[in-house]
Structure 1
Amino acid sequence: MPKTTTFRIPKHRRHVSTARRQVAKSLADWGITDELADNAVLLASELVTNAVRHCRVTCALVEVTLTLQERELRLEVSDPERDRFPQPRDSALDEEGGRGLALVAALAETWGYQRGPYTKCVWAVFTLAENICVPSAL
């Protein structure tokens, strides 16, 4: 049976650090504290930051879901801006931003997005290393 945790944060950049902490805590609770945890926390930060920056719905909540099933960890970040999809782009060396999706593509096994009836979800999937012991029950 998969383990899942979901939480919501207000769509404001000051809450991105809250998302990072919550993702790190959830992964630690599941016994994931290695490089995979670092990568998942980094990508959660990138995806939440994108949701906060690009969602034009006022007073929105950003939802973060982590699902651990067998040897796969799935990170999902959803927001109510269902008609604006992430667009990877090439950033100039002197640009401050624009590299988030390149990081997602580099660190996740796979990633993508989907539109729901009321939200858009951007997801990233990681494969757990064989040496990571996944607890069967929380």
Structure 2
Amino acid sequence: MSDVNQETVEPTAEPAHPTRTFMVLLSPTRRGARLARLLATEQLRTWGILSDAATHVIAELAANAATHGRVPGRNFQLTLHVVGDTLRIEVTDTRRERLPEARRPCAEEESGRGLVIVEALADRWGVSSETVPRKTVWAEITVPAGT
């Protein structure tokens, strides 16, 4: 279950393009990853953003946080920011020492394609790890302006 579920809308210099932010804390489990995708998809829908690419990126980043960023007793955080025509998806976990890398697994492998999918669907993606012990994996996707 989520401890924090927050949405903010802040006017920017140009009122036609508000900054929108949504943030939620979730348990680092398969259920938490699924809930991240469902909550984010619903939030994007309320903002008028219908993007299969965003849904897939959110699902992959949340699954990675639940699988590779899991620390017992510590949640992961999903944050969505919309500024103008850019949606920024951020997933923060507490496993800073496990930095992700996109790799091309063999055809026989059943997993390991998540960041390849993110790389294909996002305009940009990366990792920041300035805050110990956290790391944030982020992706940016262009969405229709004025949503």
Does TM-score exceed 0.5, indicating one fold? Answer: yes
**Helix, strand or coil for the counterpart of 1:22?**
helix
**Residue pairs, 1:1-138, within 5 angstroms:** 1=12, 2-33=19-50, 37-118=51-132, 119-128=134-143, 132=144, 134-135=146-147
Distance 2:48 2:101 in 1: 33
Distance 1:105 1:93 in 2: 18
String of CA shifts for 1:49-91, please: whole Å, max 9, x gaps.
1111112521110100000001111000000111211021121
Taking structure 2 as the reference length, the TM-score comes to 0.83
CA RMSD, Structure 1 to Structure 2 (Å)? 1.2
String of CA shifts for 1:108-129, please: whole Å, max 9, x gaps.
000000003231000000112x
Structure (1/2) with the larger helix percentage: 1
> What percentage of aligned pairs have identical amino acids?
36
Indicate conservation of the 8 Å contact 2:70/2:93, yes or no: no
**Helix, strand or coil for the counterpart of 1:40?**
helix
- Displacement, 1:3? 0.5
Distance 1:57 1:116 in 2: 18
Indicate conservation of the 8 Å contact 2:84/2:145, yes or no: no
Residue identity matched to 2:113 = R
Aligned length: 129
Runs of 4+ in 1 over 6 A off after TM superposition: none
Taking structure 1 as the reference length, the TM-score comes to 0.88
Distance 1:68 1:121 in 2: 17
Distance 1:21 1:103 in 2: 19
Unpaired segments of 5 or more residues in structure 1?
A: none
Distance 1:29 1:116 in 2: 32
Stretch deviating more after TM superposition (56-65 or 18-27):
56-65
